[in-house]
Structures are given as structure tokens and as C-alpha cells.
Amino acid sequence: MSKPTLLFRGAVKTRSGYGAHSRDLLEALYQMNIFDIKIDSCPWGATPLTALDSNNTFHKWIEDNIVTSYEGLPDFYVQVTIPNEFRRFGKFNIGVTAGIETTVAPKDWVDGCNRMDLIITTSNFSRDVLISTSYDEINKDTNKLVNQHRIEKKIEVLFEGANTSIYNNIIDENFELDIKEDFAYLFVGHWLKGTLGNDRKDVGMLIRCFSETFKNESNPPALVLKTSSAGFSIKERESFRKKIKDIVSDIPSSPPIYLLFGELSDIEMNSLYNHPKIKTMVSFTKGEGFGRPLLEFTMTGKPVIASNWSGHVDFLSLQNSILLGGTLNEVDESSIDNFIIKGSKWFTVNYNEGCESLKLVKNYYNEFLEKAENLKIINSEKFTLEKMKDEFQKILTPYINIPKPPSQYTNLILPKLNKIG
């Protein structure tokens, strides 16, 4: 008996969060050995198309199964993108999204989700925002409510699992980190648009708080920023250096800040996380659909400082990590785009609390280290790649023996798929 066909669209070649998530989901589908899989490789913004390793057997399988056109109607179509791009290409259509970082999803996300048969997102936060988002359609003549647009399709939560064969607490003695300080805080994430205090990861105010907290100290800690916007050009690197200098220009005897810029493999990232001088990860993020680097870092057993809001609170707890209080504020005009929309809100940490937490972790590190070890044990049981694969199969199982498609889709003609890379 032939296997059901599955067409998978995702940014499988890219060095991006969506790329990593796509590869994880695709590997889970591959290991299930239920489907005959073909792959539509799409870009993800301007992120590099260099994620596939020709020496990796699974990555070679991806390359061998990428198609540029597809005839007929696949039994399953899985699309891992932002929801406004969701399209029906199969008999049963699954839209997968990392979700949203604010309190309201755009209207075209609602429409996109309703085009699919099933939605999968990565956190309880993202699911709740998608479910709660609604748009009223008002008759202009009568001023009466005509319709209320909200997501009508079932939404499942499937976390992004950490690959514990890569992300663990093993120290790489050969990994070099050129900093002289013995105690360093690490930030990992994109530095995106927005004025000071308004970029999504709030990198600017993290730098400001760190510098104010440890200024004038004779033996200060360091802050290491593993950041970029999309690519790794010299121009971008120099623009980040200038931004850092501008942020701390009025702070006397500012502590050391290091910009770690350029591509690192997953193995190199784990080596960075486990470097003896890296003591904790910190993020003042305003919102996460999931927060993958934060989860991966917990596998080291080192402390995490993060905002107490959005997707990452699924795997960070008040008992075993440092979660910062704050307030929900309307998104600033400088941060608005097609996805972070005007009128929506996201989180701003209490900066005084953030500064105090930086000091506390340094001064009482061993106490926080003990709690972080507890969190490592919990997350290495509940939030691994293997657990994610098991949960994914549970979600898909009720839909394997799907009925015939609705008549309006039986004669669907697919466009040629774009070849990427």
C-alpha cells in the first residue's frame, strides 16, 4: 500500500529560526516513515541559505527531495511560514507558525489561518493570542456589525524541542572566546528596528542597564552580544558597533561589551553557551513566539534572566529562573511593520528590576546555579527534540486517514514552486 503524499514548504536551507524549526519538523516527518515527502524550499527574508551540511545524511536527503514543481494534489500540505502566506495546496492543509510577539495578530493572519484545515503554533501564548484576535466588520451605512473575523480552525501547540545531542552541558576545551573577564552575561538574538527601548528584543536598553549597573567597578563583568539583523556584512557589524558606542557614550567607565558577529554552527553555539566565562543568558525581550535560544541555553544548567511574558514562560519558571516583571505597552511607531501592528501591545521589563537582577545573579551565583540545574533536568525531560517528535505524531495521527477533499479543491492546479538556492 502506497504512503500518503506530503508536500512540505519551509525555509529549510536558511540560517534562521524558521529554518531551524522547519528542519526539525521535517526530520520528525521523515522519521515517522508514514509519508512520501517532497520539499518546497523557500527563503526567509535575507537570511543566508547556508544551513545544510553536505556531510549530514538527513541534510543530503533534504537536498535530494527538494522539488521545483508538483503535479496533482498531495494528500497533505504542510507550510511553515507566517500565516498571511498560508495557501491550500493539498487535500489536508496544515499551517505551522512560530506565532506572534504582541497581543494582536494582523487581520491577514486570521484570513491565512482560516484557509488551512489545522494550525500548529509553538507556545500557549501564541495560541491564546491567535484565538483572542478578532476584527469587526461594520456596515458603513447602518453602522451595524456585519461579521466578526476570527480564527475558526483548530489550533494545536507544539513546542520547539532542543536537540540534546547538540545542546547539553559539555564543555569544548578547544572553543576560544576572546574576552578577559571571568564573568560574562550572554545575549543571543536579532537586533531589529526600533528606537532605544523599542526594538523587539530590547537590546539597546539591555546594554544601557548593564552599563549603568556595573559602571565604575574595578573588576566588572562583561556583556557578550551574539547578534545580527539578518546577514553578516561588515557594514552591519560596524553599524552595531556604532549603536553600542552611542548608547553608552554618556556613561563613565562603562563595563566591557563584546560584539560576537558572524555565523556559528549549532555545535559552536553550544560551545559558546558552555564556555566557563559565560555565566548566564539574559534577555529583556518584549515578546517571543517561543524563544528557542533561551530553551537551548537551559540545557547547560546555567541561569537565565528573561522577561516574564510571552512564549518562553512555557519552559522558564519563577522557581528555577529569573523572570522580570514589567508592563504591557503599546508598540512604538518605530517598531511597527506588517506583523507588529499599530495598537497592539508588548512587554517592557522593569529596568530597575532588570539592573538589580544582573547584580543578584553575579553576587549569589551559586544559589541561582542550583536552581538552573533543576530547570535543566525538567527541560531535558519535557522539551527535547525527541519529545517534540512524539507530540507531533500524536497531533497528526487523527488526520492520517483523511476523507476525500471538498469538491472545490479537487481540480486545483498548483503553480510551479520557486527554486531556492
CATH of the domain at 372: 3.40.50.2000
* 133 and 241 share one domain: no
* 126 and 234 share one domain: no
CA distance 106 to 254: 41
Q: Write down the residue that cell numbers 545524511 correspond to.
A: 57
- The sign of the torsion formed by the CA atoms of 247, 248, 251, 257 equals positive
* 114 and 205 share one domain: no
Residue length, the chain? 421
CA distance 356 to 368: 14
Number of domains in the chain: 2
Q: Is residue 111 part of a domain?
A: yes
Q: Is residue 416 part of a domain?
A: no
H-type alpha helices, 275-328: 292-298
Q: Is residue 221 part of a domain?
A: yes
Q: Is residue 52 part of a domain?
A: yes
The whole-angstrom distance between residue 118's C-alpha and the CA centroid of its chain comes to: 20
Q: What is the CATH number of the domain that holds 147?
A: 3.40.50
Please name the amino acid found at residue 104.
V
Q: Is residue 222 part of a domain?
A: yes
The beta-strand segments (E) located in 253-303 are 257-260, 278-283
Whole domain around residue 200: which residue ranges?
184-382
* 190 and 133 share one domain: no
CA distance 163 to 150: 35
Q: Write down the residue that cell numbers 513546542 correspond to.
A: 159
Q: What is the per-residue pLDDT for 409?
A: 45
Q: Is residue 167 part of a domain?
A: no
The beta-strand segments (E) located in 263-314 are 278-283, 304-307
Question: What is the number of alpha carbons within 13 Å of residue 25 lying toward its C-beta?
Answer: 32
* 318 and 279 share one domain: yes
pTM: 0.92
* 217 and 130 share one domain: no
* 205 and 280 share one domain: yes
* 334 and 360 share one domain: yes
From residue 294, alpha-carbon distances to 81, 149, 252, 315, 400 in Å are 21, 34, 31, 9, 34
* 190 and 110 share one domain: no
Q: Is residue 420 part of a domain?
A: no
Q: What is the per-residue pLDDT for 419?
A: 42
Classify 210 as helix, strand or coil. helix
Q: What is the per-residue pLDDT for 403?
A: 54
Q: Is residue 123 part of a domain?
A: yes
Segments in the chain below pLDDT 70: 1, 230-231, 402-421
* 307 and 211 share one domain: yes
Q: Write down the residue that cell numbers 566565562 correspond to.
A: 277
* 16 and 51 share one domain: yes
From residue 227, alpha-carbon distances to 27, 57, 232, 400 in Å are 27, 29, 9, 41
Do the Cβ atoms of 294 and 316 come closer than 8 Å? yes
* 274 and 244 share one domain: yes
Q: What is the per-residue pLDDT for 229?
A: 79
Do the Cβ atoms of 37 and 6 come closer than 8 Å? yes
For residue 51, the 8-state DSSP code is: -
